[in-house]
Amino acid sequence: MPVAAPSPSRRRAAPSSVGAQAAPASPGERLGLRSDWDFALHLPLHYVDETRITPIVQLREGRIAVVQARVVQAEIMPARRRVLRVTVEDAEARLELRFFHFYPNWARQYAPGKELRIRGEPRRGLFGFEMVHPVCRVAAAGEALPRSLTPIYPAGAGISQAWLRKAVAAALRRLDAREWLPAQLLERLRLPPIAQALHLLHAPPPEMPLEALEQRSHPAWRRVKFDELLAQQLAQQMARSRRAEQRAWPMPERSGGLVQRLLQALPFALTADQAACVSEIALDLQREQPMHRLLQGDVGCGKTVVAALAAAQAIDNGFQCALMAPTDILAAQHLQRLAGWLQPLGVGVAWLSGAQRKREREAELARAASGEAALVIGTHAVIQDKVQFARLGLALVDEQHRFGVAQRLSLRAKGAGEQRQPHLLMMTATPIPRTLAMAVFGDLDISTIAHSPPGRQPVRTRVFSSDQRREAVKERVRDLVLQGRQVYWVCPLIEPSEPVEGGADGGEPGPAAARPAAGARGGQPELRAALDAHAELQALLGEQAGCVGLLHGRMPSAHKAQVMADFAAGRLRLLVATTVIEVGVDVPSASLMVIEHAERFGLSQLHQLRGRVGRGSQAAQCLLLFSEPLSQTARARLQAMHESSDGFVLAQKDLELRGPGELLGQRQSGLQGLRHADLREDEDLLELAREAAASLLREHPLAAREHLQRWLGAGMDWLAA
C-alpha cells in the first residue's frame, strides 16, 4: 500500500469552496498525526524480534517466535464452528496453524508449496506445536531478515502496522532533527541526541535489551520524556511571562474598608493558614498584573472565607466579583454564606442558575449589568452570553477541576475591557500533590491551607463487606435516627438500570471507574440504586419513614434545594443521596456517612464525601460498604481511606493509583500534552526540565521557541486559562 506523505503542518487545510465536502481523513489524521514530528513521536508500544528464524523443533511454549516453513496442506474443517487448518513444515518438523476467523479465499492463498514467514505464540496441541491466528505472509525468494526489531505501534481500527511502519520511516527520512538543545545540557543530563534517540526507538538493533525499551527506562526514552516535560515547562513559564505583560486593575487595601469590617463581623477568627493565604491574595490584587492563583485546601479547611475577603477587597475598590461553582447545591451554599457575611455590610448579591424563571433571571441579569450587584454567584449560567458585568474585576472559580479551559476563559472574558483582565482565583478541595503542581499548575501561584480550623472532629472510617455487615449497618443507622441523629446514605446510582451519574444535570460526576452491571453478569454485583435504598430504609424505619429524604441530580433545582433545607433544619434525619452531595453540603449535626459500593468511587471522591460529616461537635463515622470481588486498586483505595484522613496524603496516593489524567480530569490544562512521560515515575526528569526551561529561556530563547514549536505546534491554547 502506498504511503501518504504526512502533512508538514499541524493544521488541516480549509475546504476550497463552501459547498465542497471535506476529504476523508487519512489514517494518520485519524490518529492525530499530521506533521513529520507527529509521526516521529508516535512511538512503539512494544517490539517483536523478526531478525532471526527459529526452527520448529526449537520452539518454546508461550514464547513468541518467527518461523519460516513450507505449506503442506490447507483445509477448512467442517464443524459447528469452521476452522481453517494449515500444516507447514521446515527441514526438521511440522507445525499446525489454526484460524477461527478467516475469509474463504485464505485456503487458496495458503496453497501447498508456498513458503510462509510466520510469527506467533506456540502452544502444545494434540499433534505437537500449533499457533492460533499467527501473523503470516508469503516469503519472497531470497528475502533477507530485518536488521532491527519490528515495532508495534498504537493504532486505530482499519490502520495496519505495515502502513504505520512505512509512514513513520518516511517521516524520519524527511525529519529536520537538528539538535536544538545545548550540548552542555545534554552532556550534564547524560541524554543522547534527539535524532539518535528517535531512530533507536523506532528501529532498535536485535541485541538491544527489550526490557529497558518496553519499560521506558532506556536513555533514548529518557531523552524523549525529558523533551516532552521540557516543552511543557517552557510553555508554562512563557505563559506566566505573557501574563506578566497583561494588565489588571490594581485593588489596594483600604484602611477601615470593607475587608476590615468583614473581619470584625465574622463570628470566628482566621487560622494562621487562612490569614497567610489572605495576605498572599491581597498582595496579588494590589498589582497591575492579573492574579492567576490557585487556593487549595482539604475539605472544610475554610477556603470560602478567604474567597470572601478577596471579593471584599475587589468590591471595596469599586469592582464586581463573579463566583462560579459546578453544581446548584455548591453555588447555593456559597450564596448562603457569602450573602450572610456581605449583605449586612451593604453589598448587593445576585444569583444566577439555569433553573431560574425567566422574570427572576432577567432581574438578576439587570442587577449584574448595572453594577447594582457587586457579587454575582452561580453555576455555568454565569458564563452564558446574556450575562454582562458593569466592571468585573475578580473572577472566582470553585472546584476548578470540574471546569474545562474554555469555561474558565469565558468567565475571564466577561471582564475584558479597557484592555484589562480580571484577577482570577481558583479553588480546589482536592489537594494537589507536589509533582502534579509542578507539571500541571506550574504557571500558577499556589496558596495552601494545610490545617483545618479548630473544632473539626476527626472522622473514624471503617470498611465492611456489604454481604456480611449490611444488615448490621442498617440497624446502626436506625438506632441513630431514632435518637434524633442525622445520617447520610450514599449510592452511586439513581435506578438499577441507569448508568452511573456523570454530570449531565450540571455537575454530578460519577466515580471514574464506576459502571453499572446488570445482576451478576460478568461477575460484577448490581450497584444498589438510590431509589431502592430509599424505599428499603423507609420500610426499616416504619412510622418514622417520613424523616427519610432522597436527593439526586435529576431532581429540579428547587426540589433539591428544599430537600437540603429540610435536612439542614433537622426535618429530615436520614438523607439517601447520590454524589450530588460530594461538595457544598454543610450540615454540622450530621455525624454518620454510609457509602455503598465504595469500591466504585475514586479516592478523592470518597474523601470529599467523608468530609460532609465531622463538621459539628459530635464524634463522626464514615462506613464504607464494598462488594466482592475487589480489585487490587480498589482494595488499596479503601485501605488508604481507613488509614488516613489527611487530604494531601490521600491525593498523593490517588496520583500513584490512578495517574494525573483521572485524578484531575482530562480537560485540565497540561494533561493532554503528556503522551510519554509518567508523573508517577519521572519526577526527577520533571525537576530537571523545570530548571532547564528557565535556563533555556534566559540563555537560548530561540532554541526554546524551536523546541516548543516542534512539540506543541499550535496546541498551546490550554495555557491561556
Q: What does the DSSP 8-state code read for residue 14?
A: P
Could you tell me which of 281, 561, 549, 218 has the C-alpha nearest to residue 425? 281
Confidence of residue 527 (pLDDT cuts 50, 70, 90): low
Return the pLDDT at 683.
85
Mean pLDDT in residue range 71-98: 89
- Residue 375, C-alpha cell as written in the block: 457579587
Return the pLDDT at 178.
85
- Residue 223, C-alpha cell as written in the block: 531523552
Confidence of residue 125 (pLDDT cuts 50, 70, 90): confident
pLDDT in tens, 396-425: 998 766 666 666 677 777 775 667 889 999
Q: Are 613 and 525 in contact, with CB atoms under 8 Å apart?
A: no
Confidence of residue 259 (pLDDT cuts 50, 70, 90): very high
Q: Are 397 and 427 in contact, with CB atoms under 8 Å apart?
A: yes
Q: Which residue's C-alpha cell is 534517540?
A: 197
All structural domains of the chain: 27-47+152-215 (no CATH), 52-145 (2.40.50.140), 225-246+677-720 (no CATH), 258-449 (3.40.50.300), 459-644 (3.40.50.300)
Q: Return the minimum-mean-pLDDT range out of 11-15, 305-309, 384-388.
A: 11-15
DSSP H stretches of helix in 249-348: 258-265, 272-286, 303-316, 328-342
The Cα 575–Cα 118 span in angstroms is 63
The Cα 217–Cα 211 span in angstroms is 8
Q: What is the rounded average pLDDT for all residues in the chain?
A: 83
Return the pLDDT at 309.
97
How many CB atoms are located within 10 Å of the residue 82 CB?
13
Q: What is the 3-state secondary structure (H, E, C) of 676-690?
A: CCCCCCCHHHHHHHH
Return the pLDDT at 250.
95
Return the pLDDT at 22.
55
The Cα 270–Cα 456 span in angstroms is 14
Strands (E), 290-434: 292-297, 320-324, 349-352, 375-378, 392-397, 423-428
- Residue 453, C-alpha cell as written in the block: 480550623
- Residue 466, C-alpha cell as written in the block: 456489604
Task: Between 507 and 378, name the one with better pLDDT.
Answer: 378
Q: What does the DSSP 8-state code read for residue 420?
A: B
The Cα 656–Cα 90 span in angstroms is 49
The Cα 298–Cα 429 span in angstroms is 5
Q: What does the DSSP 8-state code read for residue 109?
A: H
Q: Is 21 helix (H, G, I), strand (E, B) or coil?
A: coil
Mean pLDDT in residue range 512-518: 35
pTM above 0.75, yes or no: no
Q: Return the minimum-mean-pLDDT range out of 166-170, 192-196, 322-326.
A: 322-326
Return the pLDDT at 501.
44
What pairs with residue 125 in β-bridges? 128
The Cα 13–Cα 24 span in angstroms is 13
Return the pLDDT at 331.
87
